[in-house]
Every structure is written in C-alpha cells, then in structure tokens.
Chains A and B, each alone.
Chain A
Amino acid sequence: MTTPSAADGARPANGGRAPSPAAPTNPAERSDGDTPLLELRGIGKNFGPVRALSDINLTVPAGKVTALVGDNGAGKSTLIKTISGIWQPDDGQILWKGRPVHLHSPKAATDLGIATVYQDLALCDNLDIVQNMFLGREEVKHWQLNEIGMELAAKQTLADLSVVTVRSIRQPVGSLSGGQRQAVAVAKAVMQNAQLVIMDEPTAALGVTQTKVVLDLIETLSGRGIAVLVISHNLTDVMNSADRIAVLYLGRMAAVEPVEQLNTASIVELMTTGRSGRTHPRAAAGQVQAGQHAGEAS
C-alpha cells in the first residue's frame, strides 16, 4: 500500500505523550533565564512591494501561552504561516531551541515539533476521532490497520488533555461540537509530539461552553510544558488564557508584554494605534522584561 508518511519519527508508541521539552515545565519559572523554545529575530516578509512583516522579534517559551493579537491585516496570519513553514521570511532568523533553523516547508516545521491548528481544523467529518487523529500516520500490524493500538493511544492522549466530554471516540468527527472538534485537532497535534502548538482563532464561532472547553485545553497544554501560540480576536479569552500578549500593528510588533502589564483598553489601543499611553510602545520587542512575573497558567 502507499504509505506517505507525514511526520516520520513521530510514532506515538507511548500513548502519544509528548516529551517535555528542555525548557522548564514549571510555569512559575521565568522564561528568559533559559533558551526560549522558539525565537524570531528581525523577521521580515514582503509580498512584492507590500511589506507584510518587518523586524518582528518574538520569543515563545515552553510551557507558556503566548497570544498574538492585532487588527485585520496586521500580519498575524503571515507571521504564523512563516513559523509553520508555509512562507519563508525574507529577512531575519528563526531559532528553535537556540539553533537557527530554516523552515522550508510545512513538513520541516512539523518535524521540528511545530503543529499548527488552522481555523478550518482540517478534519474529515466522515472519519471518527481515532481515524482523524492518526490520519497520515496510521499504525499497521499484520498487514492491516492496528485499530486497537491506535484507539488506545488516542484515548490516552485525549485523557491526558482532559478531554472528557466526548462520549465515544469512535463517533464521526462531523457529529462533534465545535469545541470538541478543536480538541480533536489539538490532540492530533499533540500526538505528533508537538512542542509548539499554534492555534488560529480557536474560539471563533464557539459558544460559551465550548469556549471553556478550548481554554481549558490550552491550559492543559501549557501545563504539560508545551508552548502555545494563540491568535485571537477575542480579548476576553486572551486575557483569560494567555501568559504573554504580543500585539501586531501594521506588520510591526507593537508590544510583547506579560498579561499583567496590559488591560483590554491598552491592548485595543496598541492594536489600533500601535502605541499605548500606559505601556511603552515598541517595548524591547520579544523579550519578557526581567523581573516581571510571567503568571501562573490561567
């Protein structure tokens, strides 16, 4: 049979538990003492004459939730597509665990441990949860799919992520609620041993209950030492779930601050004007300022 393997070496033999990255798993520890999991230095991206991103500096520490906010057209999508290997930056450097890396394809990013959960989730509604979580990486035993092994691993991963609302993991994904679908998409990423999970608008179009499911999931991920980068328009969710907030304004990084340094009003101001009366605009971009408590996982 044809066996195009996506993430080689990502066999979730041990129930899909992602190994804790080298970075600290204790969320109370400050991140700037260690090498951040992902660091962007001076990233710039042009589309013809349009400067989509310029001089973006950002660190994404393990075990922390970093929220990326910005108005439409601020460059959020361009930035995550650069991190997930869809587009290559024109300037600057991407460092993964301190080493410069070249993300020339989405697969290169996946192989490093960067998983992106896009808004459309990329799930097959007609397949069940287990089948979706293992899509492209099915286990084969005795010439046939190892359904039992995969179901056990999927079950374990969902349990690790405290996804308990799913009644049967053999139900088609099309029958799940929005939050559960998001959870399946994230669990799929975690099974690929992702160390950085990028989520694009995970709570858009979700109701109150479902939003809670997703926010709990984000908390669980960061509690397991996984770095989470969330794009969101919903500032309430951002304030509730993020440890650090990065604000993009017209392709520039307007501010990267611990959540305690900001309130909704100042974020809105940063998003719309690029400056804030309260915080220092263009704060030493990318660095959580020393001495600032990075916050417990929300």
Chain B
Amino acid sequence: MSTETHQPSPETPETPETAENGEAAQVATAAPEVMANSLGEYGRIQFRRIRSGESGALPVVIGLVAIVIYFQVRNSLFLSPGNLVNLLIQGAPYIILGMAEVFVLLLGEIDLAVGYTGAVAAVITAWTVFSLPWWIAIILGLATGAFIGLIFGLLITRLGLPSFVVTLAGLLGLEGLMIVLVARSGHGPGGSIPISNKIIGDLTEGNLSPVAGWIVMIVIVALAAVMLLLSDRQRRAAGLVTPPISVTALKIGVMAVAGVVVVLIGNADRGTALQALSGVPWVAPIILGVLAVWTFLLGRTRYGRYIYAIGGNAEAARRAGVSLNRIRTLAFVLTGLTGAIAGIILASRLGSISTDTNGGQLVLFAVAAAVIGGTHLFGGHGKMLNALIGGLVVAAIANGLALLGTSAAATYIVTSLVLLAAVSVDALSRRGRSS
C-alpha cells in the first residue's frame, strides 16, 4: 500500500449523484420480469422503462388501437369479421416482408431489394408449379430468394460494398429479371403468370375448418404456456430471479384471449347470403409459424445472439471471435428466404404474379412495418414480433382508407406520416433515455 496518498486527486468531480442516476437507469432498463416481485411492481417498472426510452412495442400497440377505433367510428364495417380476415390476408405479405427486413435491420443494414426478391421467387414458384408438385415449386421459390440474398450478402461482405447501394442495384436488376422471367416462362402472355395450383392458392384463400381452428389455437397457446412455465420453473430451480407468477399468468392470459378472439373472428360467418364462409385463414398459422421459428433463431441460438452483438458493437463481436462476414451474409440469405415466403403469399392472394408487382413499394412498406413496430434502423434492437405489429398497422391503414373510399394517394401519405410518427416516438424516447 502506498504512503503517498496525499496527492490531490485529479479526477473529474463526477459526484455520487451520477451514480444515483445510474442506479435509477438500471432499475428502469433491466427486464421487468427479473426485477419485479409482484404484478404491481412489474407494472411500475414497465412504466419507468417506457418513460426512459425502452418503450418496446407498447406505443405502436396503442397506435394500432387508435387507428382501429378511428376507422371503426368512420365505417362500422371495419371491425366486421369479413373485413378483419381480409385485413389479415392483405397484411400477410407486409408482415412477412417486415420480418425479412428485421434480420438486416438488426445488423444496421438494409435490403431494398427484398420486394423484388419475393416477386422473382413467386415467378419461379408460379412457373415451375405448372410442371412440378406444389411443394417442390415452393422449395424452388424459397431457394431462389435465399440465393439472391446470398449474392447480396457476398457482395456486401466480401467487397465491402454498402448494403444500401448493392440492394438498390438489386431492386432495379431484379425488376428487370422478373419481367424477363415472366416473358420467358411461356405462361404469362399478358405479363402475369397465374397460380395454377390449388394448394398454393389456398395459402391465402383456404381456411381451417372451425374445429381445426380451435384445436390449432389451443395447441399453440398451450405450447407457449408450457414453455413459459417450464422456463420459469427451471430458473427457480437454479436459484435465479424468476418472474412473479402473476406476470407469467398475465402473459398466458393475454395469449389465450388473443387466440380466442382470432378464432372467434375467423369462425364467424363472413360469407354471402348464397354461400356461407368461415374459418381461420391458412395465413394465420403460416405467419405464426414464421414468427415462431425466426423468434427462436434470434432469441435462443448463437446465430441470433451474434446478430444482436454485431448490431450493437461489431468490433466487440469481432474481438470475441465472431465471424462478421458469415453472420452478415447469412442474414441476407435469411432476408431473401423470408422475402420469398412473402412473395409466394402475395402471388397466392392475387391469384397470379404479374410484372406490375411493385417491389419498390413493397419493400418500403416492409421497412415501415419493421420500424413502426419498434425495430431500430441502426441495428441492435428489435424483434420479429415488431414486424407483425407494424405490418398490422400498415395493413390496417391501407384497408381502412380503402374502406373509406379514399384514393391511393391518401394511403401513401397517411402511411408515410405514421412511419414518421413511429420513428419520432422512438427517437424522442431515446433522447429521454440519454438525458
């Protein structure tokens, strides 16, 4: 121990009050599940998180509710079962494209070409399904999307090109490729290839039977509940901080209510006087499936962890031995693959894939969906669930304005305003966090 401690300290006077602020910030930003001891405390911590900028998905959920109320007041058909199912089917491509975009947004990159990636994939599927079984056609379409993503990823990582430019080139090039492919296929004299396979058409046209809808919903909710409870029990057994049982119960309750509502809406008769029509559309479980798989990938695997790490601090990830190029390239592959799913869904809904497909607009709606849902544009923060919620907002605006009989121009303008509002809320809340 030194004897020379009387030296005046040159430290900056960063006083204990800073430390206290730090303490407050900790309380505010740690996950409430592991901080709270009761439901009330959970609520209070969640509230403080929102005030300090860790708002998560809550503002956009509130926004979605507001939008729904507005349209419902203006036109009472908006919340009719038929329109809601329609909204979900219309929104499915946006939601899935938004999920595709989340992979690259988490890295702080962007894929402007994902709309046309999906369109080209849909062309391949629509073309090959004339001669091949439907599932092979779908696999070929998905492989096409993944391959296009691979090309982008390699160009971006190996040559060090900015993703913005590479995918902008891709946006233009793939539109051309799509037109060429439609013409060469021999199935699209009018500039569009019809979907000749009933199963692919049923991806959006088909419905689960009412009973099947209930069964699927109950199985999904039960699985999610069991997983939540098991994870809680394992944490408790390991002596780790565990969310209060009331919070877990609340989560399961919300899931169950949401599931029941979706199935009730889907099973309500939305047919005409001549023909009854009911059942949850196939796209609902498809969206949930994509959501579940990608959420698992991002949250529970090394790969997902590295995506967040690179988005947060690429240099730290590199020093930890993470292969940045591999992770980034694979992210573009996954974006292309997911984009292909969206493209096939879109073609299924339209009954054909046409050279008029506006992939540029699709990708902007996709980015809007992801960002409105709460994904940061600069990487590191966001979830697949964000794209689902954001995609619903985008779809609700488009659907609601169409229902009110407004022009396409109004749809664009309102969507752009909502996007700006979402980004502003995010930026403002982050400013609140840093100050």
Contact = CB atoms under 8 A, between A and B. Distances in A.
Interface of A: 1-7, 106-107, 120-128, 131-132, 135-138, 140, 143-145, 148, 151-152, 155, 166-168, 170-172, 174-177, 180, 203, 205-211, 234-236, 239-240, 259-260, 263-264, 295-296, 298
Nearest to A8: B321
A136 B320 contact: yes
B31 interface: yes
Interface in B28-45: 28-31, 34-35
B2 A240 contact: yes
The 7 closest A-B pairs by CB, nearest first: A207-B14, A6-B321, A136-B320, A171-B30, A124-B312, A126-B312, A239-B2
B301 interface: yes
A7 B322 CA distance: 11
B76 interface: no
Contacts of B308: 124, 126-127, 131
Given A4-B322, A136-B317, A144-B301, A259 B2 contact: yes
Which residue among B5, B18, B234, B319 has the maximum number of chain A CB atoms within 10 Å of its CB? Answer: B319
A122 B319 CA distance: 8
A122 B316 contact: yes
Given A123-B316, A171-B31, A298-B2, A206 B323 contact: no
A261 to B, nearest CB: 11
B190 interface: no
B238 A175 contact: no
A296 B2 CA distance: 10
Contact of A1 (B18, B303, B317): B303
A167 B30 contact: yes
Nearest to B300: A144
A206 B12 CA distance: 8
- Size band of the B side of the interface? 35 or more
A298 B316 contact: no
A87 B303 CA distance: 30
A124 B380 contact: yes
A206 B11 contact: yes
- Most chain B beta-carbon neighbours within 10 Å: one of A135, A206, A240: A135
10 contacts: A122-B313, A125-B380, A126-B311, A127-B309, A135-B309, A172-B30, A177-B19, A207-B13, A234-B11, A298-B1
Given A124-B308, A135-B317, A136-B322, A211 B11 contact: yes
A167 B238 CA distance: 18
A81 B204 CA distance: 59
Contacts of A298: 1-2
B15 A167 contact: no
B284 interface: no
A123 B124 CA distance: 44
A1 B301 contact: yes
Contacts of A126: 308, 311-312, 380-381
Contacts of B315: 120, 122
B293 to A, nearest CB: 13
A295 B1 contact: yes
A259 to B, nearest CB: 6
Interface in B330-349: 330
B22 interface: yes
Nearest to A173: B312
Contacts of A4: 321-323, 326
Interface string B113-157: 000000000000000000000000000000000000000000000
A122 B322 CA distance: 13
Nearest to B19: A209
Nearest to B18: A207
Given A2-B330, A107-B321, A207-B19, A175 B306 contact: no
Contacts of A7: 321
With most chain B CB atoms within 10 A of its CB, the pick from A2, A175, A210, A234 is: A175
Nearest to B379: A126
Nearest to A266: B4
B247 interface: no
Given A2-B323, A124-B317, A127-B312, A171 B2 contact: no
Contacts of B12: 205, 207
B2 A1 contact: no
Nearest to A149: B238
Nearest to B323: A4
A54 to B, nearest CB: 29
Given A176-B22, A263-B4, A2 B327 contact: yes
Nearest to A6: B321
Most buried by B among A136, A170, A298: A136
Contacts of B327: 2
B240 interface: yes
Contacts of A121: 316
Given A168-B31, A208-B14, 5 more contacts: A138-B302, A174-B29, A175-B29, A206-B14, A208-B15
